[in-house]
Amino acid sequence: MYTKLLHMNDDWTETAISHQVSDPTSKYFGGIIDPISGIPKANHLGTPAVMAAWTAALVNPDSRYYHDTKLLHALNKAALFMLNRQHADGTISLGSTNFNSPPDTAFVVGGVTQIYQLLQKNEWPAALTTVVQIKLFLERTLPALLSGGCHTPNHRWVITAALAQLYEIFPMPELIARAEEWLAEGMDITEDGEWTERSNGIYNTVSDISLYHTARVLNRPELFEHVRRNLRMMVYLIHPDGEVVTEYSGRQDLGQVLHMSNYFLIYRLMAVKDHDPLFAAMSDYAASFMTRYKEGVNNHPMTGLLLFPSAFDGLDRALLPDRYKKALNMGHPLREHLDMMKALGYPKHIEHSSMHLAFGAPVIRMRELEDSVTLMARTPVFFSLRHGKARLLGVKLATSFTPGVVTFDELTEGADSYKLSLILEKGYYGPIPESLLPNHPNRQQLSPWYLLPQQHRPVTHLQQQALTVDVTQEAAEWKIHVRSDQREDVMMQLTFILGAEGCIQGTDIENIGESRYVLKSGSLTYHTEGSAFEISSGSYEHWLPDIRNDYHPAGCQYVHINLLTPVDRIFTIRLL
């Protein structure tokens, strides 16, 4: 694996040199052109990530760029770019959003501190100017990280790690004090290892690698246990082809095709720390998906290998499971926590972020060799399936009652089935008591709706819709039993979301455009690369092409089944 990473790092080094802005009159001089926007960026995925690759090549005797003066000159220009793009308050901007951003600065600091340490350890006199410039960049970030805030849960741990790593270079007690302020909020992770954002594809590793460095520098060994929990959980959240389960993410990796490569370094570091054969095997597995560098500077694999050398290759390896049923968060007190939030009057909305109210919702994972199934609550899709190369990305139910997609509150496990359930409520709202109306002189002539205290309206005519879905596994098929209460004439739509790469065939299926179909009756077959399954049976009880507030992003194929309540129907997914 070391040889593979060495060659990848050298190749990326060579490619990136040609993308560096060489015009000294440009404000982007020394930066690396972003392939998407065309604008060099100072964020953790931009120029600093390239600087990490270049540094790893320059200090490594095995690299073909070891002590290469031309590359050192390029690194020096990149360091100047970072100083030039650093704002007066010491921050950098993400580039796409998040301007003058303390957390995005912390992402960069988490890796640039490692670049500085590698160059320092190498003791190469020719690199002294670059080392001074990099240290100056880091020094300028101190005020922002000592005072700056965040947007998202993982940002807290990124900032904490940056404070800890800065302390290794600038031993200022106030850095530790600020880190402790963030840590005092407590850890946002379930007993089964799920972080708040439920982001298996991106932000798990952000929190994991950040807390690793925090625990290491601050001598807080208890923090390692949270990293262990998440890494153990992830063993069961991988489809057979290595695709990470992103079906229920609370962040931008939702439904994206991502693999395990970003877990390589943290699994390796924890494998060495714990002498853990399972973590060692998972690190090897993650490394097998590395085809190009795409990690941020704070999680750079080659920098990590060089800065934290270890006896990793001497560790035993465990066999990774390919047959299991794993229930996650079944005992997590989610409803209790939501009730506490309501009782304490906490808002359900936070500016520029999310409350992540699905944190700790139940998830059931099943794997049988090349078959992989996920059942999940509090997310738009409640079931997903991989059968070889055939991908059922999700099954969702939408109702016109609320209207919108149903996110089931509960997921319970029976003897031979799984039940998802929800009671939807929708009422009407009476007049606000006059004593609670705003006291402004022109109310009778002009009373804008948005100035009224809507929270004080009494509820009238409260209506409910009870929905359940029972999922049952049989020999080579899955049955999805959808039931509603006896309320009549609520239009519903059951949708099967399929991979764009497969072919859909059926006897009574209508193409309604934009990769969307209606299965009016009978069955359809979805097949790709030697794998297939059949979905039955269709229904066309109303004519709506979709339910209001349901959305169908591009990049998938959608098969709809139109239902009218009361509903008591069984749908079958038969593996072929």
CA distance 391 to 85: 44
pLDDT computed for residue 294 by the predictor: 67
The total number of structural domains in the chain stands at 1
Which residue in the block uniquely carries the two structure tokens 């959808």?
482
Which residue in the block uniquely carries the two structure tokens 């940056």?
162
CA distance 243 to 374: 13
**At residue 445, does pLDDT exceed 80?**
no
Instruction: Report CA torsion sign: 290, 156, 226, 336.
Output: negative
CA distances from 357 to 43, 407, 541 (A): 29, 12, 34
Whether residue 546 is contained in a domain is answered as yes
CA distance 443 to 457: 17
CA distance 323 to 498: 24
Joined together, the tokens standing for residue 574 give 């038969």
**At residue 446, does pLDDT exceed 90?**
no
pLDDT computed for residue 293 by the predictor: 63
Residue-wise DSSP of 383-419: EEEEETTEEEEEEEEEETTTTEE---SEEEE-SSEEE
Whether residue 211 is contained in a domain is answered as no
What's at 52, amino acid-wise? A
Which residue in the block uniquely carries the two structure tokens 């991502």?
258
The model's confidence at residue 311, banded by pLDDT at 50, 70 and 90, is confident
Whether residue 482 is contained in a domain is answered as yes
Q: For 134-161, what is the mean pLDDT? A: 95
Q: Where in 27-169 does DSSP place strands (E)? A: none
Whether residue 270 is contained in a domain is answered as no
End-to-end Cα distance, the chain: 37
Whether residue 415 is contained in a domain is answered as yes
Instruction: Report CA torsion sign: 56, 61, 65, 67.
Output: positive
Whether residue 527 is contained in a domain is answered as yes
Whether residue 215 is contained in a domain is answered as no
Whether residue 31 is contained in a domain is answered as no
pLDDT computed for residue 194 by the predictor: 96
CA distance 137 to 125: 20
pTM: 0.92
Lowest mean pLDDT among 106-115, 434-443, 475-484, 485-494: 434-443
Domain containing 494 equals 380-429+443-575
pLDDT digits 0-9 by tens, 356-406: 878 888 999 999 999 999 999 999 999 999 999 999 999 999 999 999 999
Residues in Cβ contact with 264 at an 8 Å cutoff, skipping those fewer than 6 apart: 283, 286, 287, 290, 301
**DSSP letter, residue 110:** H
pLDDT computed for residue 498 by the predictor: 96
CA distance 181 to 536: 55
pLDDT digits 0-9 by tens, 338-347: 888 888 777 7
pLDDT computed for residue 95 by the predictor: 84
